[in-house]
Structure formats: structure tokens, C-alpha cells
Amino acid sequence: MSGVNKAIVVGHLGGDPDIRTGQSGKRVASFSVATSEQWRDKTSGERKESTDWHKIVVFSDGLVDIAEKYLKKGSKVYIEGKMKTRKWTDQGGVDRWVTEVVLQAFNATIVLLDKREGGVTPASDEGDYGSQRSGAADGSRPVVAPRGGSKPAGAPGADMDDDIPF
């Protein structure tokens, strides 16, 4: 019996993506995404918040391009990939582990949830956001802009000066 390994993270980038080129010449993007939850403490009535940080690693060429061109510190994103834990030994000989959301080839997605500069005003809540998916050459699903007043790229009347890469 096989299992399902699918991770979905919706949050804000903690910093600009780090784009590196490996020994093979293949580019890799990495960044962290913060997710927060808020609640009211039942005993004190005080408002509380908890933030979790998720390491994201992008191996898909099309999504590395999207990350490099469009993601920046504070960007709100929807990330879909799979969880992977890897182990290494640090310089002091201590074994270390890290769990990451990996975006590689098929079933990997980045959705930009922020408004585009000079474009649509942001939606009032996440239910107003949507995505238009377009398959990249490597089978990944780069994603673009919020729904609302804008038209899909290529639609009649769409702005041809749009900076979306498809």
C-alpha cells in the first residue's frame, strides 16, 4: 500500500528567495514561509499568536524562475509540494535533520496571493483568491495572480504589457 505525501502552506515569505546553482548547473530556490494562528486565551481573554516557519526548496526550473522574478520578503503565497526530511553531519560531527517542503517536477505549485503592482486591489479574504494554472515545460504548475478585476493572460482584452511570464 502506498501513501500520500502532500504539503500545503499558505503564508508570508520571511525573506527574499535564495537562488543557487548546483554543481550540475541546475538552479535551486530556497526560502522560508511563516504561518500564523491567533486565538483568545480563555482564562485571561488575552489575544495570543503562534507562528511556525516552513523551509521551502524549489528544484523545478519553471518554479525557480517564478520565485526569482516574483517572490520577495513579505509576499503572500500558496505553496504545494511534498514533505522531505534529510539528514547531514555538521562540521562538529553532530547529526542534524531538517524537514522541508520540496517543489519538484509534477504536483508542485506556487500561487502568488498578493496584488500585482499597479494592478488589482487585494481581495478581502482568502476565499476571494483564485489561481490560474499553466503547466510549465517540466510539468510543474506555476501560478499567477489573484482573481478579481484582471483578465487571464491571453484573454480577449487582457493587458499585453502584463509581467506574468506566460
DSSP string, 64-106: HHHHHHH--TT-EEEEEEEEEEEEEE-TTS-EEEEEEEEE-ST
CB 27 within 8 A of CB 64: yes
Mean pLDDT of the chain: 77
For range 6-19, the mean pLDDT:
96
Q: How far apart are CA 100 and CA 96, in angstroms?
A: 13
- pLDDT at residue 55, as a whole number: 97
Q: How far apart are CA 139 and CA 115, in angstroms?
A: 26
Domain contains 26: yes
Domain tally for the chain? 1
Q: Does residue 158 register a pLDDT over 90?
A: no
Domain contains 42: no
Q: Does residue 151 register a pLDDT over 80?
A: no
Burial of residue 86 (number of CB atoms within 10 Å: 0-12, 13-18, 19+) = exposed
In this predicted model, what pLDDT tens digit does every residue of 88-127 receive, in sequence order?
Answer: 899 999 999 999 999 997 789 999 998 765 433 333 233 3
Longest CA pairwise span in the chain (Å) = 60
**Residues ≥6 apart with Cβ < 8 Å to 83:** 5, 7, 99, 100, 101, 102
Domain contains 158: no
- Cell triple for 89: 553531519
Domain contains 160: no
Phi and psi, residue 7, nearest 5°? -120, 135
- Domain containing 85 equals 7-37+48-142
Read off the CATH number of the domain in which 105 is found: 2.40.50.140
Domain contains 147: no
